[in-house]
Structure 1
Amino acid sequence: MAQIDNLPPLRDVIRQHGLNAKKTLGQNFLLDLNLTLKIAKTAGSLEGRTVVEVGPGPGGLTRAILAAGADKVIAIEKDQRCLPALQEIADAYPGKLDVIDADALTVDMTTLVSGPARIIANLPYNVATPLLINWLKTDPWPPWYESMTLMFQKEVAQRIVAEAGEKAYGRLGVLSQWRTDAFIAFDVPPSAFTPPPKVTSSIVHLVPKDAIVTADAEAVENLTAAAFGQRRKMLRQSLKSLEPEILAYLEDVGIEPTERAEQVPVPAFLALAQMLSRNG
Structure 2
Amino acid sequence: MTGLRYVYAVCRPFDAALQAQLTGVAGDPPRLLAHRGLVAVVSHVPEADFCEEALRAHLENLDWLAGTARAHQQVIDALTAVTTPLPLRLATVFRDDSGVRVMLEEREEAFRRTLDRLDGRVEWGVKVYVEAEPERAAGPAEPAPKPASGRDYLRQRRMRTRANDDLWTKAEGFATRLHETLSSRADDARLHAPQNPSISGAAGRNVLNAAYLVGRDVSEEFVEVVDRTKDDAPGIRVELTGPWAAYSFAGDEAAGDGTTGHDTAGEDGTGVGS
- State whether TM-score is above 0.5: no
Higher CA-based Rg: 2
Considering Cα pairs closer than 8 Å and 6+ residues apart, tell me whether 1 or 2 has the greater RCO.
2
TM range (shorter): under 0.3
